[in-house]
Amino acid sequence: MKSALTLLFLCLAVLAKAQQDAAFYIFDADQKPTNIKKAKFLLRVSKINDSSWQWDYYHFAGPMISREHFKDREGTIHHGTSWHYAQDGRLDSTAQFVNGKKHGDAFRLVADSFAYKTKYVFDNDQLVATVDMTKKDSSQFIKYDDEKESAYPGGLSSWGRYLNKNLRYPARAMDGNIQGQSVIGFMVDSDGKLSDPFIARSVEYSIDDEAYRIIMASGKWEPAFQNGRHVKSYKLQPIVFRLN
């Protein structure tokens, strides 16, 4: 798919909208440049920094298909993390790239779950190991009596008030009568700071963007607690968008 998208990009696909360091392109069912009425897919190209570009490929009025990182705006050299999504917007697989080659851990997730199914280990684009992540050795896991998951300060009631005050339903989603539950994954470090956000379940690009924004603007969280100390942990936070 990347090569087809790269060709379209280089052939000056229709520019639907432009922002600072970001541009939107739309395509028909055959992945050819088109107009709004015939649009089936949407591509957003965002500049992360001088050596990193992010390509977000979406169904035009639906969930994400893939998020990929490249060294160049034209999308010819994979570099960084890539995410790929199932038809329903659930995260399906991830992979790491270095200078255009798979390098490091890649994962396939269990269907209808956020759990890992298979880990693939790559070294300079060569598959060197495959690990069944569903076979867990219980001896490697220790349950502590004082374990506590990370949480928004004040619990669910405070989280609800935060959403009521700050959540903005995107105009594009409202106009398209689009609703659903976006899930954002992120890390909470031992000090409560948030980092490494990603979309675990996608709804539509403007809804995903708002869910992403609301998480990263939420300030420090209460970190996880284990064995007498605060520890870093990963969190999956659903945010429901519902039109009344």
Please check whether residues 218 and 206 belong to one and the same domain. Answer: yes
Q: How confident is the model at residue 124 (pLDDT cuts 50, 70, 90)?
A: very high
Distance CA 6, CA 99 (A): 17
pLDDT of residue 81: 96
Token duo for residue 125: 């684009």
Please check whether residues 66 and 93 belong to one and the same domain. Answer: no
Q: Which stretch of 2-11, 67-76, 164-173 has the lowest confidence by average pLDDT?
A: 2-11
- What H or E segment, with its residue span, contains residue 205? helix 205-216
Query: Are 69 and 102 a contacting pair, CB within 8 Å?
Result: no
Cβ atoms < 10 Å from Cβ of 203:
25
pLDDT at 19 > cutoff 60: no
Residue with tokens 């028909």: 28
Please check whether residues 36 and 100 belong to one and the same domain. Answer: no
Distance CA 182, CA 240 (A): 6
pTM over 0.95: no
Q: Is residue 50 part of a domain?
A: yes
Burial of 75 (0-12, 13-18, 19+ CB in 10 A): buried
Mean pLDDT of 71-98: 96
pLDDT of residue 207: 98
Average pLDDT, the chain: 89
Mean pLDDT of 39-63: 96
- Going by C-alpha positions, the residue among 184, 238, 175 that lies closest to residue 209 is 184
Please check whether residues 179 and 227 belong to one and the same domain. Answer: yes
Domain that holds residue 178: 155-241
Q: Is residue 73 part of a domain?
A: yes
pLDDT of residue 229: 92
Please check whether residues 224 and 177 belong to one and the same domain. Answer: yes
Please check whether residues 120 and 198 belong to one and the same domain. Answer: no
Cβ atoms < 10 Å from Cβ of 241:
21
In percent, the amount of the chain with pLDDT more than 70 equals 88
Please check whether residues 39 and 86 belong to one and the same domain. Answer: no
Q: How many domains does the chain have?
A: 3
Q: Is residue 140 part of a domain?
A: no
205-231 b/e with 16+ CB inside 10 Å = b? bbbbbbbbebbeebeebbbbbbeeebe
